[in-house]
Homo-oligomer: A and B are copies of this chain.
Amino acid sequence: MTGQLGDAWRHCIGAGRFELALRRDYQDSLALLQREIGFRHIRQHGLFSAGAGVHRPYEYGGERRVLHSFTYVDQVVDMYLELGIRPFVELGFMPPGLASGDQTVFWWRGNVTPPSDRAEWAALVRGTVAHLVDRYGLDEVRGWPIEVWNEPDLKDFWQHADQDAYHDLYEVTAHAVKDVDAGLQVGGPALSPGADDGWLPRFAEFVAARGVPIDFVSRHAYTSGPAQHVPFGVHQTLAPAATLLEQFAAPGRQLAGTALEGLPVHITEFNSSYRPDNPVHDTAFHAAYLAPVVAAAGDLVDSFSYWTFCDVFEEAGVPAALFHGGFGLLTHRQIRKPTFHLYAFLARMGGEVLARADDHLVTRDGTGRVTVLAWAAGQGSDGHRVRLSVPVGSPAVTAYVARSSVSEEAGNAWAAWREMGSPRSPGARQLDALREASEPARRHWSAPVVDGRAELDLSLAVHEVTLVEVTAVRDETPPWWDDTRLLGGPA
């Protein structure tokens, strides 16, 4: 029930395809994210796709050669490090000049076929990793997990979802990474939630049998049902949020007894819906739905990476409206969604867990400040009440209590946008209004401290997620201060 909160929740966050990181909106959003939350790694598709321009075959002296070009890669990674975040490298998809077929995924056409030339692929991996080591230093790059491909168990992401072909890709890739330095971390197989239970054990058996290097295991987790399409969007049913925790726990269960038992497990993507055009992502419901997951999942895995940090994302084409159901914690132009605030609240919590429950989490930081994260998750609920006594832990007579909330009413720019008539491309004044509407509601009060404790009685509105910060007061009010004399009068 108690212990350390850990920071698996902030270990990684997802992002749109590689070259989208060159956009200003993406970078402004990432800067805001790092300032108000602070993630450690960032993961995205497309490092080897056409848009990043890495794999560059050419003719010279009458023969085919390949240049590895890092013009954009370096611009992006330089920027990441400036913003205090590091790559969680995903090796994929297949460069057009190295592809064995022409199957693509997404509007932006990532090629998902195996390499036409195993050696050229290995050279690409080695060349890329060696370049990163050369530019950023070995100590730095050893801290970046390197993951092989994405969801090879799905036909959309790996031609025929051919597990043997993936094993082969994994093997050549893992060796190529370790050729650069044995201390680099390589892993996979980045399974989709739909992978059958045997996939991972078969993978374990393969790498064990062949002595292939592996430093971590990865998979994804989503809870949505099939897409019900409307123009420019979908609706989907969602399984209970707790099924996310089950999915997080699955690799550990599946690998028990295999050679990979005990390896770090990274959930390299998770969300409710796996669609970038499901409006549920924009709602207060969503923050409340995920609150118990992010509050609890650190006990199960080494990381769980929200997919994605912002709506600069084009897998289903260019978004046709400001709010369009994108994955982002932030819309285009940095409007913060309720789920952004869920993470921002977590970022203000302490490391020591004082209490956990179905509807709240209590922590304390090194200064004695106590924080409570509470949520009213049930859809359609008409509110919720949480009563707590928290230690203030000092000779304080009062505590300063500050509460921030998002709900259907508060900190909910999507609701404001709906009231504005769903303007697809809001003007400057509307954007200002949306920014105001995206601010959590803030309250503060003075709470008496009795026997070193303060009492909290919190009413939560529908889909509210609230953060309460309790700080012992050191009273500097001078002895002559008298509220009743504000407008004059005798002492």
Contact = CB atoms under 8 A, between A and B. Distances in A.
Nearest to A409: B443
A346 B418 CA distance: 27
Contacts of A73: 425
Interface stretch (A159-167, A177-185, A198-206, A480-488): A480-488
B400 A478 contact: no
A422 B488 contact: no
Interface stretch (A22-30, A117-125, A145-153, A353-361): A22-30
A477 B318 contact: no
Contacts of A485: 228, 235
B487 A235 contact: yes
A318 B487 contact: no
A419 B442 contact: no
A67 B487 contact: no
Contacts of A436: 402, 404, 442
A487 B400 contact: no
Contact of A439 (B228, B238, B332, B442): B442
Contacts of A25: 22, 75
Contacts of A424: 69-71, 476
A318 B53 contact: yes
A398 B379 contact: no
Contact of A488 (B58, B228, B404): B228
A138 to B, nearest CB: 14
Contact of A53 (B317, B415, B475): B317
A34 interface: no
A386 interface: no
Given A427-B135, A433-B444, A422 B475 contact: yes
Interface in A402-430: 402, 404, 409, 415-416, 418-425, 427-428
Interface stretch (A37-45, A297-305, A319-327): A319-327
